[in-house]
Structure 1
Amino acid sequence: MRFIIRTIAAAVALWVAIQFVPGIEVNTPANTARYWGVLLVVALIFGIVNAIVKPLVKALGCAIIVLTLGLFLLVINAVMLLLTSWIAGELDIPFQVDNFYPAAFWGAIIISVVSWLLGLFIPDND
């Protein structure tokens, strides 16, 4: 149950980023069942990318992360969002992030903040 709630929270975070950042878009009519379905699928892809690829990238970039006092994590999060967009495109899912800066960079920041805020209301145990 917690997995489903976290996926929905990630979809809401993606929706907020789409609302505020030009260059991140879902190419279906807004506020339809298909639109929200696309957001849920993209949230699943984003979760898988963050679970598998992000730890590897963080391990390889550990020295840069320490050297930049953690600011390089913003770059890693933006790259994960771009990778999610690329995977969605390969799977013919109508989700697109236009470029690294400003779309992916600011989108990743918004998604992180909204996910964190929503995570405060999700209980840790079932």
Structure 2
Amino acid sequence: MKGLLLRWLILTLAILAAAYLIDGIAVAGFPSALAAAALLGILNALLRPLLLLLTLPLNILTLGLFTFVINALLLMMVSGVIGGLKIQGFGSALLASLVISLVSWLLTTLVGNEGKMDVIVLQRRDEDHWE
């Protein structure tokens, strides 16, 4: 349960980052981003595997880049349902899917399996050596 909530929060932050970085994306506030992340998570769990299977030849031909198109379509579906998320055109949705994927990946790698930040502690052994 804790992992699910953490992934939901990470996806929410990724949607807010996309809205901040891309002009064609607007989010009314944190509650709207939270609702959009919840719906996007549900669509990713239910609809995305089917879409990936149906477009498998095209996805293989594009070396997996067509996955971003599928993500953009799902994001546009979410913006049609969530009133606080506005996306102006497919190009903005495609850029947003790239940003959301990148931010989600970065935040997921920073956060460990137990929801704690992974930290590397370096200590100076002598003037030229760290351990």
Paired amino acid for 1:13: A
Paired with 1:68 and 1:3, the residues of 2 have a C-alpha distance of 31
Paired amino acid for 2:15: L
After TM superposition, list the pairs within 5 Å mapping 1:1-126 onto structure 2. 1-26=2-27, 28=28, 35-88=29-82, 93-101=83-91, 103-125=92-114
SS at match of 2:101: helix
CA shift, 1:20, in A, is: 0.8
Paired with 1:38 and 1:3, the residues of 2 have a C-alpha distance of 18
Aligned pairs, how many?
A: 114
CA shift, 1:125, in A, is: 4.9
The TM-score, its normalising length taken from structure 1, stands at 0.84
Consecutive unaligned residues of structure 2, counting only runs of 5 or more, are: 116-131
CA shift, 1:87, in A, is: 2.1
CA shift, 1:37, in A, is: 1.4
Paired amino acid for 2:4: F
SS at match of 2:47: helix
The structure having more radius of gyration, on CA atoms, is: 2
Structure having the larger proportion of residues in helix = 1
Amino-acid identity (%): 32
The TM-score, its normalising length taken from structure 2, stands at 0.81
Paired with 1:36 and 1:4, the residues of 2 have a C-alpha distance of 15
Consecutive unaligned residues of structure 1, counting only runs of 5 or more, are: 29-34
SS at match of 2:110: coil
CA RMSD of aligned residues (A): 1.3
